[in-house]
A and B are shown apart, each in its own frame.
Chain A
Amino acid sequence: MFSQPIVRKASLTSMDLSDLKPNDKAVIQSISTDAPGVERLMMMGLVEGTEIVFVRASLGGDPLEFQVYGTALSLRKEQAQQFKIEPIPING
C-alpha cells in the first residue's frame, strides 16, 4: 500500500544546481525539501531522478536558467543550491 518511490541518499559529490556550466546536464540526486519555495519547484518537476540542463546565467550571474522536461525555468542562486545533483558526462 505504501509504495513510496525510493529516494536516493545525497550523493558523495556535493555539487548543486548552481555549480553547473552552461549546457551541462545533470540528474537531481537529493533536495532540501524544507527550504522555502522548494516544494513549489518540485511541483514543476524538479524531483529526484529528474534530468536538468543548465542553460545560462542572466546578467551578473543570477538568476539561472534551466531546462526541465521541456520548460525553461528561472531560479535564483539560493534556490538552485537546494538541489544536489550528479552531473551527466557529455557524450555519456
Chain B
Amino acid sequence: MASSSEVYVSAENLTVIRRAERVIAVVGNPNTGKSTVFNRLTGMRQKVANYPGVTVEKRVGRATIGDSAFDLIDLPGIYGLSPYSTDERIAVDVLLGRILGTPELEGILAVVDATRLYQGLYLVQQLSEMGYPMIIALTMTDMAHLEGMRIDIEGLSKRLGGIPIFPVVATRGSGFSELKNAISGMFEAVPSESEPPVFWPDLRHAAEELRKRIGESAAAFQVVELERAIIDGDPEIVESLRVEAGDSSLDYLLAVRRDLCGDTPPLAAEARYRYTWIRERLSDLQRQISPLPRLGRAAINWFNQPWPSALSFIFSMGVVFQAVFAWAAPLMGMIDGATSSLGNWIGGVLPPGILSSFLVDGIVAGVGSVVIFLPQILILFLFIILMEDTGYLARAAFLMDRAMRSFGLSGQSVVPLLSSFACAVPAIMATRVIPNRRDRIATILAAPFMTCSARLPVYALLIAAFVPSTSFGPLNLQGLVLFGLYLLGIAGGVGTALLLKRSVLRGSNPIFMLALPEFRFPDLRSVILKLFDRARIFLRRAGTIIFAVAVVVWALAYFPRSASIEDGRIAARGEAALSLSGQALQVELDRVDNEAAAEHLAQSLLGRAGQAIEPVFVPLGWDWRVSAAVIAGFPAREVVVAVLGTIYAVGGQADEVSLAERLQSVTWPDGRPIYSLPMVLGLLVFYAWCLQCAATLAVIGRETNSWRWPVIAWTYMTILGYVGALTIYQIGTA
C-alpha cells in the first residue's frame, strides 16, 4: 500500500475514500476482443467522447476492483507503434503521452489473441520497452484450444521477462477474477523487480547513443520517443528534436539509424528482428496438435469461397433492406401517429395563434422529424455493428474490392455505400472502417447520391401522379421510372467518386491490407453499447441541427402573419356554419382552412422567397409554389410533400391521391399545365441528385471534421440537380 496517490481518510469516512485513480491503457491488435475485455472490466460505467480534432472515439471506463478503482482507456487497435491510420496514430500518441486532456498513463493491459500470438507479441515487445507496468490478458484461449494450439503460458511469461499473463474468455467472462486481482496488484511490485524487459537491446543502445550525442537537450525526450524517431522518423518528434537540439541532432539521428539498420528501411529491420526473436523463443512453448474437426468451421470455410460468399452477401444485404423497410415502417407509423395526435391535442387545448402554431408545427413537428429517423437508423446501425463484430464486414470488403476498385474505391466502401440506400447518415458514420482518408472522403461524398428512404415519398407522389401506369409485358412504366431513378443515384455517386479520385483525391492506395477476422458470435453487451453510442451521436449531432432547421422553416412559413386572411377565414367559417350542417359543414370548414393556409403561406417569408427565386427556376419549368416547396425541403427532402399539400390548399396532412389529383390540375396563367412530363422528370432528377438533408450535411461535417466538405457536397449536388433538371426540361420542351 505504498502508492503515493492515495489519500487516507479516517475509518468513519470510509465511504468517501477518494484517490486519484490509476490510469491503465487497454492496448491490443484489432479484433482481439479488446473492447469486450474493456467492457467486462468496466461494465456500463464508461464515457465516450472524441479525441480533440478527430473522429476517433475516446472510451474511458472505471473498473472497481475490491476497494480500489482504476480508469481504463480503451485504445484503438494497433499492430505496432508505427501508425498508419488516424485511429492508430491516436493510440500511439496516447501511449507516448502526447495528447492533451488525456490523463497520463501509469500501466498497460495488453490484450493478446491466443490464436494470433505472434502479432500480439510483436506489440507486447514494443509496449514492454515503454517501461510501464504491464500485464497481458490472453484472449480467445478457447478458440486456440479448438484449433489444436497448446501454449505453455508460464514458460511464455518467463521468456517475456516475467510479464504476467492471464488467459481469459472475454465473451464468457472466465478468467476475469484472476485478471482483476492482477490489475489491482500491478502497481504494488517493488520498482526494481518490475523493471520491464527490453527485447531489442540494439535499438535501446542506439537511442541511448543518440541521447549521448545530442547532449543535455535530450533530457526533454523519453527514450521511447527517440527510438520511434530512429525507426519511423516520426515527423513530430523529428521536428521537436530539430527545435530543441539543433540541425546537427538530425545528422546524429541518421547516423545511429544507419548503424542500426544499414540500408534496410528501419521498420523492415525492426519487423525482421522482432519476428525472428518471437519465432526462435516461441517454437518450444507452442505445440500444434491436429485441430478438432468442427462442422461450423468447414461450413464457414465453404461460405468464404468466392461464389457462395457473393450469394450470401447478396442475401444478407437483402435481409438488411427488408428489415430496414419492413420493420421500421410500423415503428415510423407509430411515431408519426404519436406526433400528429400530440399536435392535434395541443391544437385543441390552446387557442389558435402563434403559440399553438409554434408548438405544433415548430416544436412537435421538429422533434418528430428527428425521432422519425430513429427506427431505420437504429436497425441499420444494428446490422452494421453485427457485420463488424462477426467479421463479416471485412469479408464483404474482400469480396467486393476488385469491383469497387474500378470506381476508384476499395472494398471497404461497399457496405457504407449500400447502407446509404436506406439512409446516408449511418452510412457516412460507417465509413470509419475505411483507413485511407482519400477513399473515405470519396465514399462520404458518393453516399448521399444513393436513393435513400426519404426520397421515396417524393418519387412515389410524382410517379403516381404523372407517369402513366402502362405496361410493357411484365414491365410497368412506373416501376421502370423508379428503377431508373435508382440507377441515376448510383451513376451520380459512382461518377462523383471517380471524378474525385481522379482529381482532388488523386493518389494511389498502396496499403490495402485487410485482416480477415475469423467468424465469431458477437458479444451482446458490446453490440448494445455500440448501438446506444451511435444513436446518441445521431441525436446529438444530427438531431439538434434537424430540430433547429425545422423551427426555422416553421418561422419562415409562419411570418409575417396577415390579419386580413385570418379575418376572412373566420368570416367564411361563420357563413358556412349558417348555411350547412353535418358532413357538408365539416368539408366546407376544411376547405376554408386549407384555402387560408395556402394564402398565409403565399405571403409568408417562404412564399415570398419562392416568388423571389422563381426566375431562377423558371427555366426548369417551376413556378413560385414549386420553388418554395423545394426551398422548404432543403433541410429534409421529405418535407416537400407536406409543403406542396399546404401550398395547393389540400392540407398539410393530405393523402397522396388527393394531392396528386390537385397537382395534375394546376396551370401557368396561360393555361399550360405546370406539371408537364418534362418538368416532372426534371424534378425527379433534381431530387435524385440534390443533397436536401441537414442531417447528412451535419454528419459529413462531423466525420470529415471540417466545414469544407459539407459545403462542397451541398454546392456540387445542388448544381448537379439543377443542371440535370434544366437539361431534361429544356430538351423535353424544345
Contact = CB atoms under 8 A, between A and B. Distances in A.
A14 interface: no
A70 B406 CA distance: 31
Given A1-B202, A47-B276, A63 B306 contact: no
A74 B202 contact: no
Given A40-B513, A44-B119, A71-B116, A49 B271 contact: no
B706 to A, nearest CB: 27
B259 interface: yes
Contacts of A44: 79, 119, 513, 515
Interface string A57-92: 111111101000111111110010000000000000
B279 A49 contact: yes
Nearest to B266: A39
Interface stretch (B18-26, B62-70, B396-404): B396-404
A52 to B, nearest CB: 12
B205 interface: yes
A37 B132 CA distance: 30
Contacts of B403: 59-60
Contacts of A11: none
A38 B265 CA distance: 10
Contacts of A34: 265
B401 A74 contact: yes
Contacts of A61: 402
A29 to B, nearest CB: 13
Contacts of A3: 202
B268 A33 contact: yes
Interface in B196-217: 201-202, 205
B516 A69 contact: no
Interface stretch (B9-17, B504-512, B529-537): B504-512
A61 B399 CA distance: 10
A39 B117 contact: no
B315 to A, nearest CB: 16
B272 interface: yes
Interface residues of B, number: 56
A75 B512 CA distance: 7
Contacts of A42: 267-268, 271-272
Contact of A37 (B116, B411, B510, B518): B510
A31 B275 contact: no
B98 to A, nearest CB: 21
Contact of A79 (B259, B269, B512, B517): B512
A1 B205 contact: yes
Contacts of B402: 58-63
A70 to B, nearest CB: 4
Interface string B389-400: 000001001111
A31 B268 contact: yes
A47 B202 contact: no
A39 to B, nearest CB: 4
Given A44-B79, A58-B398, A63 B512 contact: yes
A7 B272 contact: yes
A69 B116 contact: yes
A39 B119 contact: no
Contact of B513 (A1, A33, A74): A74
Size bin of chain A's contact surface: 35 or more
A59 B116 CA distance: 27
A31 B265 CA distance: 11
B511 A40 contact: yes
Contact of A76 (B84, B147, B512): B512
A36 to B, nearest CB: 3
B316 to A, nearest CB: 16
A5 to B, nearest CB: 4
Interface string B76-89: 00011010100000
A37 B511 contact: yes
Contacts of A40: 84, 511, 513
Contact of A45 (B118, B268, B510): B118
Among B260, B272, B511, B517, the most chain A Cβ lie within 10 Å of the Cβ of B272
A7 B306 CA distance: 36
Contact of B276 (A2, A49, A60, A76): A49
A47 B122 CA distance: 12
B727 interface: no
A48 B272 contact: yes
B510 A69 contact: no
B707 interface: no
A33 B514 contact: no
A63 B122 contact: no
A34 B117 CA distance: 27
B157 interface: no
A33 B268 CA distance: 7
Nearest to A74: B514
A43 B268 CA distance: 7
Given A4-B273, A58-B398, A73-B513, A45 B122 contact: yes
B499 interface: no
Among B82, B306, B411, B513, the most chain A Cβ lie within 10 Å of the Cβ of B513
Contact of B306 (A37, A47, A56): A56
A5 B276 CA distance: 7
A5 B273 contact: yes
Nearest to B307: A59
Given A2-B259, A70-B118, A63 B514 contact: yes
Contacts of B461: none
A87 to B, nearest CB: 19
B82 A63 contact: no
A17 to B, nearest CB: 13
A38 B273 contact: no
Pairs A-B, 4 closest by C-beta atoms? A36-B510, A42-B271, A37-B510, A69-B118
Given A35-B510, A40-B84, 19 more contacts: A1-B201, A3-B202, A4-B262, A33-B264, A42-B271, A43-B267, A44-B79, A50-B275, A50-B279, A56-B304, A63-B411, A65-B398, A70-B113, A70-B118, A71-B116, A73-B513, A74-B515, A74-B516, A76-B401
13 contacts: A1-B201, A4-B262, A42-B267, A45-B122, A48-B272, A50-B279, A58-B401, A59-B307, A65-B304, A70-B116, A73-B513, A74-B401, A74-B512
Interface of B: 79-80, 82, 84, 113, 115-119, 122, 147, 149, 201-202, 205, 259-260, 262, 264-265, 267-273, 275-276, 279, 304-307, 309-310, 394, 397-403, 411, 508, 510-518
